[in-house]
Amino acid sequence: MKLDSLYQEIILDHYRNPHHKGLREPFDAEVHHVNPTCGDEVTLRVKVADSAGEHDQPVIEDVSYDSMGCSISQASVSVMTDLVVGRSLDEATRAYDEFLALMQSKGQLEPDEDVLEDAVAFAGVSQYPARIKCALLGWMAWKDATVRALAADDGSAPDGPTADQPSAHRPTADDIEETA
């Protein structure tokens, strides 16, 4: 089986059998992101546990989501949840940084399979600018929700959604573009 075929199968498997889908409680922050160019949407919740382990780092206890959109956006958020749930903030952020670098590489970066695991299947997506926003939608939502959860925990919550507040700011693909 060719590598491209294997990658397509990974994406289709996550699309057909999404991991961590369905909004759950408790959560520390909730965000809703939209890609207006294609209509993809994700509402994502994150629960961050207090520091744990030898490095005294917060741990991503749970990520849950509800979404609609293309197979790329749906599979990507499913893969992302596998890479961050149960990991320290540093480990989850490293996966985020690696995926972002992969998406910005225009197909020129050899992905680190040890860090990205199934997310390496999205390497080909980086060659199609219109699809990059689809692949990044869930990742950007995770980053946004995690920042909000951590800020709420330390009392410096930004103006926006937490478990106690409805979402005020609805980031769009333009927000993603600024980060990407």
Give the pLDDT band of residue 158 (cuts 50, 70, 90): low
| Residue of 133, 119, 114 whose CA lies nearest to 178 | 133
Give the model confidence (pLDDT) of 57-72 as tens digits.
Answer: 899 999 999 999 999 9
Alpha-helical runs (H) found in 54-118: 71-84, 89-104, 113-116
**Could you give the CA distance from residue 67 to residue 2 in angstroms, rounded to a whole number?**
30
What domains lie within the chain, and their CATH numbers?
3-179 (3.90.1010.10)
Give the pLDDT band of residue 141 (cuts 50, 70, 90): very high
Q: Is the pLDDT of residue 107 over 50?
A: yes
Between 160 and 75, residue with greater pLDDT: 75
**Could you give the CA distance from residue 23 to residue 30 in angstroms, rounded to a whole number?**
10
Q: Is the pLDDT of residue 87 over 90?
A: yes
Between 82 and 106, residue with greater pLDDT: 82
| % of the chain residues with pLDDT over 90 | 67
> 120 phi and psi, to 5 degrees?
-60, -20
pLDDT at 155: 67
Average pLDDT value over all residues in the chain: 85
pLDDT at 168: 38
Give the pLDDT band of residue 30 (cuts 50, 70, 90): very high
pLDDT at 48: 96
pLDDT at 54: 60
